[in-house]
Structure 1
Amino acid sequence: MRKWHRWLSVFFGIFLFWIAATGVLSHVAAWWPSAAPSAQAAAAAAPPAGFECPEGWTCRPPRAERQGIGKLVGFFHHLHSGETFGPAGEAISFLSGLALLFFAFSGVWLYIRMWRERARRKAKSRWFWK
């Protein structure tokens, strides 16, 4: 398991870094405070005259158009999902997600095996060791 963990990390490390970085940038762009909406944007977000929300429904006005760095949310999402690079990019993004699941599982498994080996040798019990 350790050999697979090591070899796959060499290949998928680059893609996992890409996915992590673009995911963080996507969230930063979405959460970035934008300037107060203009009067024109507020008027466009208002429901049309005579519109009433149906009974039992919760209606919200449409989201105002993002401004500033917030406009880049879609761009970062396309980079994050691999859509920018076509079907090959989407496949690599999917495989990177599977690799991340594998790394999480195999890392825990390797840690438990090392923990048991230390217990078998009656070594000093610690959470982390050198």
Structure 2
Amino acid sequence: MRKWHRWVSVFFGVFMLWIAVTGVLSQVAVLWPAGAPDPAAQAAATPPAGFECPDGWRCQPPRANATGIRSMVGTFHHLHSGETFGTIGTIISVLSGLALVFFSISGIWLYVQMWRFRSDRKLAPRWFWK
């Protein structure tokens, strides 16, 4: 298991770093504070005359056009999902997600194996060791 864990990490480590960085940038862009509201954008965001929100729905006015880093949310999403690089990028993104699942399971498996090895050798039980 250790051999597979090591070899898969050599290939997918770069892609997982890419996915992590673009995912963080995507969330930072969403959470980035918006600038001062534009009065023209607020006027355009009002619903048309005669519009009524259907029962049980929570209607919101359309969002004004984003500016600054918020305007890049879509770009970060396409980079994060691999869509920018076509079908191959999407496939690599999905495989990287599956690799992350593999690393999680194999990492826990390796930890349990090391824990059992220490226990069998009658060494002091610890959560972490050198």
For the superposition of Structure 1 and Structure 2, which TM-score range results when normalised by the shorter chain? over 0.9
- 2-side partners of 1:108 and 1:49: how far apart? 59
- 2-side partners of 1:11 and 1:64: how far apart? 42
Residue 55 of structure 1: CA displacement? 2.4
Residue 58 of structure 1: CA displacement? 1.9
Structure 2 residue aligned with 1:66? 66
The TM-score with structure 1 as length reference comes to: 0.96
Residue 22 of structure 1: CA displacement? 0.4
| Percent identical residues | 68
Structure 2 residue aligned with 1:26? 26
Q: How does 1:109-120 map to 2 (within 5 A)?
A: 109-120=109-120
Residue 57 of structure 1: CA displacement? 2.3
- 1-side partners of 2:82 and 2:55: how far apart? 42
Residue 90 of structure 1: CA displacement? 0.5
Q: How does 1:69-108 map to 2 (within 5 A)?
A: 69-108=69-108
Residue 63 of structure 1: CA displacement? 2.3
- 2-side partners of 1:26 and 1:51: how far apart? 33
Residue 117 of structure 1: CA displacement? 0.9
Cα deviation, 1:18-71, whole Å, max 9, x if unaligned, reads 000000011111111121221111111111111111223221222222111100
Task: Tell whether 2:35 aligns with 1:10.
Answer: no
> What is the number of residues matched between the two proteins?
130
Judge which range, 40-49 or 98-107, deviates more: 40-49
1:106 maps to amino acid: S
Gaps of 5+ in 2: none
Cα deviation, 1:48-102, whole Å, max 9, x if unaligned, reads 1111112232212222221111000000100000001010000000100000000
What is the root-mean-square deviation of aligned Cα atoms in Å?
A: 0.9
Judge which range, 60-69 or 111-120, deviates more: 60-69
Q: How does 1:115-130 map to 2 (within 5 A)?
A: 115-130=115-130
